[in-house]
A and B are shown apart, each in its own frame.
Chain A
Amino acid sequence: MVAKKPSTKATPSNVSADELKAYYRDMLLIRRFEEKAGQLYGMGLIGGFCHLYIGQEAVVVGLEAAAEEGDKRITSYRDHGHMLACGMDPNGVMAELTGREGGYSKGKGGSMHMFSKEKHFYGGHGIVAAQVPLGAGLAFADKYKDNGRVTFTYFGDGAANQGQVYEAFNMAALWKLPCIFVIENNQYAMGTSQQRSTSSAEIYERGKAFGIPGEAVDGMDVLAVKAAGETAVKHCRSGEGPYILEIKTYRYRGHSMSDPAKYRTREEVQKMRDERDPIEAVRTLLLTGKHASEDDLKSIDKEIKAIVNKSADFAKESPEPHLDELWTDIYAEKIPQEA
């Protein structure tokens, strides 16, 4: 699916020029931010595991376009893109990557463990697939409160082989939880291709066993993702229960910074970059549709560059957490979500 040409659904007729420009901008922010994070990692400013989102930008940007204020999102450790897409501050995200006081978790979470109560971002989870029942649980809380919210529960094709995913599917369907299960299928579970790890060619079809509807989506096409997201949101919000989106995407970089990516050819990656890049696709739409000029796009590029450089500067200048922080946030005096 990923290898085909941009889908005809992605005509700009049902989207305004401003929206299209916003998607371009948001995807570009993620790409430039991740490139910068890669640099800082190389410089030793970011430690541990760092999983970049480059190539997958259309997934979160398309789905955020379908979300409303108050909707929740939760994902795995490849989470920088999700945080930027839902409006979290790049300074706070980058400073968390460098383990500094100004980070979202005061430097105590790192790349894989970040949260934002304000933006309804529930992490950032380091255990593959643990976020899937957690996301169903967030949806459970929304249904209990009858507040009309939905939860976007993101996981990868690798996580799709964990048993707890199907435990969550069963209960989400049984209890009609307003949960959108988003399978970001980037085709490799770390170094193991889908063909070598997964019995089904279409992972979303596993939902059929539980009566959960779903569909495959071209994840390199932000408008196709947005359209599918709207279908899923409508389904969940109307009380019909969960929905599965298997979004076929591709990561250009290795699984983490320490992955030499020997399990696929350089040509495969290059072909994807050349032919299916989600940002290039929107750029082309903007230019050919005369919705934006080269100069307009250059000014967006410049704005993004400034934001990312500022976040890097902030992340370098923000001090390391005070040693007292070692001993804080172990026990709460009151429920922080309510504060």
Chain B
Amino acid sequence: MATEILMPALSPTMEEGTLAKWLVKEGDTVASGDIMAEIETDKATMEFEAVDEGVIGKILIAEGTEGVKVNTAIAILLEEGEDASAMDSAKSAPDSAPAPAAKEETAAAAPAPAAQTQEAQAVVDTSPDWPEGTTLKQQTVREALRDGMAEEMRKDGDVFIMGEEVAEYQGAYKITQGMLDEFGSKRVIDTPITEHGFAGIAVGASFGGLKPILEFMTFNFAMQAIDHIINSAAKTLYMSGGQMGAPIVFRGPNGAAARVGAQHSQDYAAWYMQVPGLKVAMPYSASDYKGLMKTAIRDPNPVIFLENEILYGRSFDVPEIDDYTVPFGKARIWREGDDVTIVSFGIGMSYALEAADKLAEEGIMAEVIDLRTLRPMDTPAIIKSVKKTNRLVTVEEGWPQGSVGSYISSVVMQEAFDYLDAPVINCTGKDVPMPYAANLEKHALVTTAEVIEAVKKVTYK
């Protein structure tokens, strides 16, 4: 029986890719394990193997096609002896693609990038970080982040980057792509898999007068190194009476990606935010990734830079300004409104903005604040907004107990209690380790629906 060969998902967060090259043609016989095509994701070019034997009946997607969605039929495989007429009855090959339900769940966990970007653009004009008339270009978070680092490395020879697979592999998530070529192996350094050790070496190098950017492949692995982040980096300035400190950036993806389970899906925002001596950035948009990264590298203090794998591939407007930086401790108001304040940061902004969009259709106007940095935190911006809207909902992916939202709630209680017309609601990830099953994962994360529900609750609608 003829089967459809489907576009494969080659990473946990892949939604589409480019069919770069066919290595087989119609009429070719293939056996399990034969390489049929090369598929390019935003992270890498992967070879795609046959899982069944048969004859390539028809190629449905021509090579060079971009933006082929995962699970799209790209070719039809005939069984030995079948002729082309069998193609009409082609069925999806069960082994070569995830179940349809899983596809749906993945999409739900990662809201469609296009919609988010358009919405983001709509409000940029109301509160830009750049002067009117600035030329803007569309850039992914991944590109903006790399540009920010590369610009600083061009300016300052003491800045270098080290981490697992940052150099020859071009970055596990392709953030450091091209950097080895430009800066050489002295400044773009592959480490062994040894987080505790290389975090210590990087902090020591910062004591010694260098400005390291340390990439953790994900922040989950930084738990092996947290002693050096807290005890060695954050506290030395204080313990030395100001004689020496650690000008270092610890960066990498943080929080849930998609379907990678409990040990690889944790949001550390609230953990690091607690530590005096650290600065903590958790950007949402590409321009903030770039501008905050440049500020982080220049900062004489240790900076935790929490990125998000799902955001890496999203595009935003980035201003074409020489040396574009964004200061720490200054929130950005993405959307103005009078009915409720929604405060978020990082990927939480996706839910906040989507919810605000839907609420607007119902006539509820939300003011959406992106904190951008959690330490220092622009609490005055929150207080100012709450004094106008009298209602507050916070949104984050992390766990509820000791969350960023619970800290914000306490600040608002102390500084704007009389202005509140309803209790503050913290929308957070659920109080469970991240499950693997697609449907459970979706429910473990904070959702747009929950943000909408919370807003309706505080506005008594």
Chain B residue, CB-CB nearest to A109: B239
Complex CA–CA separation, A335 to B197 (angstroms): 24
**Known contacts A134-B232, A141-B204, A170-B197; A332 and B239 CB within 8 A of each other:** no
Q: Which of B202, B241, B244, B301 contacts A331 (CB 8 A)?
A: B301
Task: Please name all residues of chain A whose beta carbon is closer than 8 Å to the beta carbon of B207 when the two chains form the complex.
Answer: 122, 134, 137-138, 141, 337
- Cβ of B219 to closest chain A Cβ, rounded Å: 19
The answer, yes or no, to whether B300 is at the interface (CB within 8 Å) is yes
B-contact 0/1 string along A147-168, CB 8 Å cutoff: 0000000000000000110111
Task: Please name all residues of chain B whose beta carbon is closer than 8 Å to the beta carbon of A199 when the two chains form the complex.
Answer: none
B-contact 0/1 string along A31-56, CB 8 Å cutoff: 00000000000000000000000000
**Known contacts A105-B239, A138-B207; A334 and B201 CB within 8 A of each other:** no
B232 and A108: CB pair below 8 A? no
B208 and A141: CB pair below 8 A? yes
The answer, yes or no, to whether B85 is at the interface (CB within 8 Å) is no
How many chain A residues sit at the interface, stated as a range, is: 35 or more
The answer, yes or no, to whether A106 is at the interface (CB within 8 Å) is yes
A335 and B300: CB pair below 8 A? yes
**Helix, strand, loop or mixed for chain A's interface?**
mixed
A127 and B277: CB pair below 8 A? no
Task: Please name all residues of chain B whose beta carbon is closer than 8 Å to the beta carbon of A137 when the two chains form the complex.
Answer: 200-208
Complex CA–CA separation, A49 to B341 (angstroms): 49
B204 and A138: CB pair below 8 A? yes
**Known contacts A125-B232, A164-B196; A117 and B243 CB within 8 A of each other:** yes
The answer, yes or no, to whether B247 is at the interface (CB within 8 Å) is yes
The answer, yes or no, to whether B237 is at the interface (CB within 8 Å) is yes
Q: Which of B201, B228, B242 has the most CB of A within 10 A?
A: B201
B228 and A123: CB pair below 8 A? no
B-contact 0/1 string along A111-134, CB 8 Å cutoff: 001111100001111110010111
Chain A residue, CB-CB nearest to B277: A330
The answer, yes or no, to whether B100 is at the interface (CB within 8 Å) is no
Cβ < 8 Å to A, chain B residues 175-210: 186, 191-192, 194, 196-210
A171 and B192: CB pair below 8 A? yes
B204 and A140: CB pair below 8 A? yes
B300 and A167: CB pair below 8 A? no
B-contact 0/1 string along A315-339, CB 8 Å cutoff: 0000000000000111111111110
- Cβ of B242 to closest chain A Cβ, rounded Å: 4
Q: Which of B186, B194, B227, B276 contacts A167 (CB 8 A)?
A: B194
B192 and A330: CB pair below 8 A? no
Q: Which of A132, A134, A330, A335 contacts B247 (CB 8 A)?
A: A335
**Known contacts A113-B239, A115-B239, A171-B201; A133 and B196 CB within 8 A of each other:** yes
Complex CA–CA separation, A299 to B277 (angstroms): 47
Cβ < 8 Å to B, chain A residues 284-326: none
B-contact 0/1 string along A167-194, CB 8 Å cutoff: 1101100100000000000000000000
The answer, yes or no, to whether B240 is at the interface (CB within 8 Å) is yes
Complex CA–CA separation, A137 to B227 (angstroms): 15
**Known contacts A115-B239, A329-B242, A330-B276; A133 and B199 CB within 8 A of each other:** yes
Residues of B at the A interface (CB closer than 8 Å) are: 160, 186, 191-192, 194, 196-210, 227-228, 231-232, 236-245, 247, 276-277, 279, 300-301
